[in-house]
Structure formats: C-alpha cells, structure tokens
Amino acid sequence: MSIKNLIKSILVFAHLDITKNMKYDRLTETIMQRVLKEDSNCIDIGCHKGEILDLMLKYSPKGQHFAFEPIPDLYNQLKENYKNKANVYPYALSDKAGKSTFQYVKNAPAYSGIKKRRYDIEKPDIEEIEVELKTLDEVIPENIKIDFIKIDVEGAEFGVLKGGKQLLKKSLPVIVFESGLGASDFYGTKPEDLYKYITEEIGLNISLLKSFVKNDKPLTLNDFVKHFNTNDEYYFVAHR
C-alpha cells in the first residue's frame, strides 16, 4: 500500500474527513458494510482504479462483481489486477448502445466523461477518444440479482439508470450515485425527472448518505431538488 493510501485509510478509520469526497468515501464504505452479504452481487460503474471494487470484493467475496471503465489505460490495468476476481468491461454505460466521443481528462482522469463538464482544475488537458456505449440491461445477465451499484460517471448518471431499467426494477438494489450542478446539468438532467424516475418508475427511495446511515427519513422531491441545485450535497443513495 502506498503512503498516500495508507494515510487515507487512517483518516477514514478515524472519521477525519479533510474533504467532502473523503466523507462520501467513508459513508459509502459504511453503507456497503451494512447492506452487503458474503454472496452479494455488485456493479461498479466508473471503476477508475478499483477503490470501490476492492470493497465489493472485501465485503462480498463470494458474489459476482461487474466493473465498467472506458478509459483504455485504466481498463487495461483493471483487467490485469482483477483477473478471475471480477468481470471488467471497457464500455461507457448509457440509455442506448452505440459509439460516442469521450472526454478523457489526462491530468485529472476522474473528471473524464462523455460530455465536457465544469472542471475544478486549471487548464484541463482533454483528449477526445471514441468509446463503445452499452446499457446495463444488455450487459448484465438477466438471471443475476444485483444487490449494490455505485455510479460515478461525471454527470451521465441518469442515462446509466435509464439503460438499466429492467435490472433495477427486478433487483431493487442499493445504489450510491453522484448528481448535481456542474456535471449532471451538462447532460440536460433535471432533478425533478431524476427523482421521479427513481422513486416512481423504479420504486426506490432517495436519501443522503449520512441520513441513510442514521436511518433518517428519505428525501422529498423538494429536498432532492434543493441539494441538486445548491450542490451542498452531491452524493445520494437510492434504496428500498
């Protein structure tokens, strides 16, 4: 383990959140520890370097796990690192299959996505590449029940969810996802539509990560719209 990852692990263990993203990482692991069983099946969408996939393997060592990462270098490394451990795919997920341009932010890969978005770095070095689009419903076998999904695709989350409608309605998994201004709006996502899709068409509630951990009430439509538009919170969990 690198010194950077060791320090991060210590801070997470001690609940010392230097950044909001560190808080979300810690809460995500808490949620996974709570909801996952030894044989739970999981999906990591926007797998990046495999940090969340590692937790899926840790808490559900007997489950089937699926990971998606369209950046070629990251995909190739994941394919090698998780050989015989997880199913790793080089696709960008959406609500339809095909081909798409993809904005690879070379000096900040975590910001990469199908469309350009607002970047919280100076002078993003963007290389436009072509990626293959797939939907969750066409990739994940119909006979597999999915228990947990993480979606971090820099604004394209609604398209991912729409492309997995049958899977989501059948499995009703716990879904940790990012959404808010600065990313989702570049894809034309309206918070009202996203909320209604998850709650009415899929049949799940939406909570803040911290509220789910505390067993507080789910968000109302107005609550979700407020968080989306102010960006005071931009990670959510969909759940029964």
Average pLDDT over residues 18-41: 94
**Residue 111 falls within a domain, yes or no?**
no
**Residue 198 falls within a domain, yes or no?**
yes
Among candidate residues 111, 162, 157, 108, the one with its CA nearest the CA of residue 136: 162
Indicate if the pLDDT at residue 3 is higher than 90: no
Question: Residue 234: which pLDDT band, with cuts at 50, 70 and 90?
Answer: very high
Report how far residue 3's alpha carbon sits from residue 135's, in angstroms, rounded to the nearest whole number.
Answer: 37
Domain hosting 222: range is: 17-88+140-239
**Residue 123 falls within a domain, yes or no?**
no
Report how far residue 217's alpha carbon sits from residue 240's, in angstroms, rounded to the nearest whole number.
Answer: 12
**Residue 132 falls within a domain, yes or no?**
no
**Residue 157 falls within a domain, yes or no?**
yes
What pLDDT does residue 4 have?
Answer: 46
CATH code, domain carrying 75 = 3.40.50.150
Calculate the average pLDDT of the chain. Answer: 93
pLDDT digits over 76-124, tens only? 999 999 999 999 999 999 999 999 999 999 999 999 999 999 888 889 9
How many structural domains comprise the chain?
1
Report how far residue 78's alpha carbon sits from residue 99's, in angstroms, rounded to the nearest whole number.
Answer: 22
As to burial, measured by CB atoms within 10 angstroms (0-12 exposed, 13-18 middle, 19+ buried), residue 137 is middle
149 in Cβ contact with 43 (< 8 Å): yes
Higher-confidence residue: 11 or 166? 166
**Residue 68 falls within a domain, yes or no?**
yes
207 in Cβ contact with 218 (< 8 Å): yes
pLDDT digits over 182-222, tens only? 999 999 999 999 999 999 999 999 999 999 999 999 999 99
Indicate if the pLDDT at residue 42 is higher than 50: yes
Question: Residue 7: which pLDDT band, with cuts at 50, 70 and 90?
Answer: very low
What pLDDT does residue 18 have?
Answer: 57
**Residue 177 falls within a domain, yes or no?**
yes
What pLDDT does residue 122 have?
Answer: 86
**Residue 114 falls within a domain, yes or no?**
no
150 residue type, one letter: K
Indicate if the pLDDT at residue 10 is higher than 90: no
What pLDDT does residue 14 have?
Answer: 44
